[in-house]
Amino acid sequence: MKNSLVASFAPEVASRLRNYAKLMRFDKPVGIWLLLWPTLWALWLAGEGTPDQGLFVVFVCGVFVMRSAGCVLNDFVDRKIDPYVERTRTRPLATGAVAPYEAITLFIALGLIAVGLATMLNRHAQLLAIIGAALTIAYPYIKRYVSIPQFVLGAAFGWAAPMAFAAQSGETPELAWLVFGTALIWAVIYDTFYAMVDREDDIRIGVKSTAVLFGEADLFVIAGLQILMIIALILIGLRAELGFWYYGTVGVAAAMMAWHLWLARDRQPAGCFRAFLSNHYIGMVVFVGIVLHYTFNPVTA
C-alpha cells in the first residue's frame, strides 16, 4: 500500500514541478541571458577585470531568481489575457495547470530568496536593490497604462549595472549609468522585436507596447536605437579606457544588429521572433570584448 501511494504521488509532484519550472521560463532561457550579460559587463568593468568572486555568485544567482520572479508575476497579472494570445495561450496559468494562489506563493518564495541575496550586499547596493524590485513589480502592470512598457522593462533589466558598481566599489560613477543606459536601450530594441510578434493580438485586446506605438515606423525607430546603442557602447569604451579587443566586438555587435533588422524586414512573426532570440549574442560578444581587454591589458596596481 505504501509503495503504491508513493508511486501515485511521485508523478503528481513531478508534474507540478514541471509546471512551476515552465512558469519561471526555465524552458526558455533567453531572458536569463538578456539579463545576465549587462550584469556581467558591469561586474567586470567595476572590478577592472577581476570582480569579487562572492559578488559574482550573488549577482548570477540574483539574475536567475529575479528573472524567474518577474516571469511568475507577469503571468499572474496576464492570466486573463494570455489565453487570447497565440504565443501565450499554453502558459501554465492560462491553461489552468497552475492556480493563481500557487503562482503568488512561488513569487513570494522567490522574493524571499532575492531578499536573502540582497543581505549579502553593502548598504548602497541594498538601497538600489529596492528600486530594482519596484521596477520588476511595476512592469507587468505598466503595459496597461502607457505605450512604452519596454522602457520600464529596460530599466529593470539594466538596474543590475549600478547595483554591481555599488556592490563592488561602494559608488555609482558615470560609467555605471552609461552601462545602465546602454542596457535600457538594448532592452527596448529586443523587446520591440518581441512585441512585433504579438502586435495584432495586442491591438485586438488593448495591450500597449512600443511595437503598437511605433507602427509602420518600427524598423526605422529600431535602427535609430541601434545606432544610439553603438554610440553608448563606444562611450563606455572611452570612459573605461578599453582597447582594440573591445571595439572589435562592438563592430561585431553592430553587424549583428543589421542582421536582426534584415530578419524582421517583412515584419513576419517568425522573423521578428528570431531577431529577438538572437539578440542575446550581442550581449555575449560585448562581454567577450571586455574580458579580452582585461586579459591582454591587465590593470596593475
Predicted confidence (pLDDT) per residue in 25-44, tens digit = 999 999 999 999 999 999 99
The DSSP line for the chain is: -HHHHHHHHHHHHHHHHHHHHHHTTTT-THHHHHHHHHHHHHHHHHTTT---HHHHHHHHHHHHHHHHHHHHHHHHHTTTTGGGSTTTTTSHHHHTSS-HHHHHHHHHHHHHHHHHHHTTS-HHHHHHHHHHHHHHHHHHHHTTT-S-HHHHHHHHHHTHHHHHHHHHHS---HHHHHHHHHHHHHHHHHHHHHHHHTHHHHHHHT---HHHHHGGGHHHHHHHHHHHHHHHHHHHHHHHT--HHHHHHHHHHHHHHHHHHHHTTT--HHHHHHHHHHTHHHHHHHHHHHHHHHHHS----
**What is residue 12's predicted lDDT score, i.e. its pLDDT?**
77
When the pLDDT of each residue in the chain is averaged and rounded to a whole number, the result is 92
Range 215-240 average pLDDT = 97
C-alpha cell at 80: 486573463
Range 71-99 average pLDDT = 89
How far apart are alpha carbons 190 and 280 in whole angstroms?
A: 9
Say if residues 71 and 27 touch (Cβ distance below 8 Å).
no
How far apart are alpha carbons 37 and 280 in whole angstroms?
A: 8
Residue 3 pLDDT > 70, yes or no?
A: no
Q: Give percent above pLDDT 90 in the chain.
A: 79
* pLDDT band with cut points at 50, 70 and 90 for residue 189: very high
- For the stretch 218-227, pLDDT in tens is 999 999 999 9
**What is residue 4's predicted lDDT score, i.e. its pLDDT?**
55
Say if residues 265 and 272 touch (Cβ distance below 8 Å).
no
Does the domain at 20-296 match CATH 1.10.357.140? Answer given as: yes
* pLDDT band with cut points at 50, 70 and 90 for residue 9: low
Residue 6 pLDDT > 70, yes or no?
A: no
**What are the residue ranges spanned by the domains of the chain?**
20-296
- For the stretch 114-149, pLDDT in tens is 999 999 999 999 999 999 999 999 988 887 788 888
Say if residues 174 and 239 touch (Cβ distance below 8 Å).
yes
* pLDDT band with cut points at 50, 70 and 90 for residue 301: low
Range 236-243 average pLDDT = 96
**What is residue 141's predicted lDDT score, i.e. its pLDDT?**
87
